[in-house]
């Protein structure tokens, strides 16, 4: 057994002490819409409504049991990572400060506070919040919980391990890219299992940094102004994530905000599941490439369902 597979299996057992595996379903209306067999991985079914919880649980377990327990932690987020950090820090008895940009999701902010996080609004985008969180780390001697870290990659990689073990012979999988933990976790699981599944990344046309970096094989920053896919609103990629993406990802698809809204509606109509913008992006990409994937067995990751009520109501009304 490879070291990577052992790491993923160990992380899964840690995570399952908090939550069960999430399901993957082959929804008939989605298959009909794409014209092929499609399996939807429901990471919207976790205790915080998104896949990020897996990374947080694993990271804090490693801090408590294999490293030094910090006196306090700080992190920057648009919401789902912050919920993961707040939940895991609270269970570990560690004070937690979360920095979010101004105008962040009201309901994600409320969820982070309900989980025990001290919320600070700073900056106009994630990058500005991250820079401020780094200042707080230095000033207050806190442990920074980054959005990309080997512990997080291994933790979130457990959803891909579940998917690959549950559905054999997947030809292709679509996964959105925020800062890269989800797609790198999928690469780790695929390679640990020795599979040939093509992994396709998805970004917003209004946050194309990872797509442009992938195309030019160098780190490129780009504006992140998507209105609906805040989980993919990355201005500056992570070099470590890019290195893994260069090596293992087949290609990257860009989807517009309108594509994402259409996918959110389609997912609700076909499955009655709520998908946030980034959570619907993978399905939007699969639909964009429906001719290319005809006759293939397709995996699509619904990474989260944390969208504000009024935003989702407006999208459903078209």
* 67 pLDDT above the threshold of 80: no
Length reported for the chain: 318
CB 181 within 8 Å of CB 150: no
In terms of Cβ atoms closer than 10 Å to its own Cβ (0-12, 13-18, 19+), residue 257 is middle
- Give the tens place of pLDDT for each residue, 5-20: 999 999 999 999 999 9
Rg of the chain (C-alpha set): 18
The strand pairing partners of 173, in sequence order, are 199, 299
206 confidence band (pLDDT: 50, 70, 90): very high
Residue 247 pLDDT > 90, yes or no?
yes
pLDDT at 132 over 80: yes
Residues 174 and 301: beta-carbon distance below 8 Å: yes
Largest Cα–Cα separation, the chain: 56
- State pLDDT tens for residues 283-300: 999 999 999 999 999 999
Closest CA to 191 of 7, 13, 10: 7
The domains located in the chain, with CATH, are: 3-50+150-316 (3.40.50.1100), 53-144 (3.40.50.1100)
Q: Specify the pLDDT at position 57.
A: 96
What is the SS3 assignment for 252? strand
Q: Yes or no: say if 70 and 140 are a contact pair by the CB < 8 Å rule.
A: no
- Name the percent of the chain lying above pLDDT 70: 100
Whole-model pTM over 0.85 = yes
The DSSP result for 29-40, as a single string, is HHHHHHTSEEEE
* DSSP tag of 124: S
Average pLDDT over residues 299-313: 96
Angle, CA of 132, 156 and 127, to the nearest 5°:
20
Dump pLDDT digits (tens) for 18-33.
999 999 999 999 999 9
pLDDT higher than 90, residue 78: no
- Residue 188, classified by CB atoms within 10 Å of its CB into exposed (0-12), middle (13-18) or buried (19+), is buried
pLDDT value at residue 187: 98
Which pLDDT score, from 0 to 100, does residue 308 have? 93
Can you list the pairs that 212-216 forms with residues at least 24 positions away whose Cβ atoms lie under 8 Å? 213/237, 213/242, 214/242, 214/245, 214/246, 214/249, 214/251, 214/252, 215/252
Task: State the Cα–Cα distance between residues 96 and 33, nearest whole angstrom.
Answer: 43
Residue 318: per-residue pLDDT = 84
Question: Across the chain, what does the average pLDDT equal?
Answer: 95
Can you tell me the mean pLDDT for 169-186?
Answer: 97
Q: What are phi and psi of 168, to 5 degrees?
A: -80, 150
Q: Is the pLDDT of residue 64 over 90?
A: no
As a whole number, mean pLDDT of residues 85-93 equals: 92
Q: State what percent of residues in the chain have pLDDT above 90.
A: 89
């Amino acid at each position: 057994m490879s070291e990577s597979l052992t790491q993923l299996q160990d992380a899964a057992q840690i995570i399952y002490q908090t939550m069960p595996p999430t399901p993957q379903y082959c929804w008939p209306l989605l298959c009909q819409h794409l014209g092929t067999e499609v399996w939807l991985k429901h990471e919207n079914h976790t205790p915080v409504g998104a896949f990020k919880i897996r990374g947080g649980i694993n990271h804090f377990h490693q801090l408590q049991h294999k490293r030094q327990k910090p006196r306090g932690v700080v992190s920057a987020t648009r919401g789902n990572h912050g919920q993961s950090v707040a939940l895991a820090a609270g269970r570990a008895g560690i004070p937690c400060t979360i920095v979010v940009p101004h105008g962040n999701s009201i309901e994600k902010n409320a969820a982070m506070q309900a989980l025990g996080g001290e919320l600070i609004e700073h900056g106009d985008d994630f990058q500005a919040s991250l820079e401020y969180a780094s200042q707080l780390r230095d000033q207050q001697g806190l442990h920074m919980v980054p959005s990309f870290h080997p512990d997080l990659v291994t933790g979130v990689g457990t959803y891909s391990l579940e998917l690959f073990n549950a559905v054999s012979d997947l030809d292709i999988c679509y996964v959105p890219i925020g800062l890269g933990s989800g797609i790198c976790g999928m690469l780790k699981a695929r390679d640990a299992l020795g599979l040939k599944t093509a992994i396709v990344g998805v970004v917003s046309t209004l946050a194309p940094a990872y797509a442009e970096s992938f195309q030019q094989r160098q780190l490129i920053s780009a504006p992140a102004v998507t209105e609906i896919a805040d989980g993919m609103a990355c201005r500056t990629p992570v070099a470590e994530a890019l290195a893994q993406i260069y090596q293992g990802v087949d290609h990257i698809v860009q989807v517009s905000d309108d594509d994402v809204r259409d996918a959110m509606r389609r997912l609700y109509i076909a499955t009655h599941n709520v998908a946030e913008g980034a959570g619907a992006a993978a399905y939007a990409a699969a639909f964009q490439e429906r001719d290319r994937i005809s006759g293939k067995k397709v995996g699509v990751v619904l990474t989260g369902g944390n969208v504000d009520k009024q935003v989702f109501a407006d999208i459903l009304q078209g």
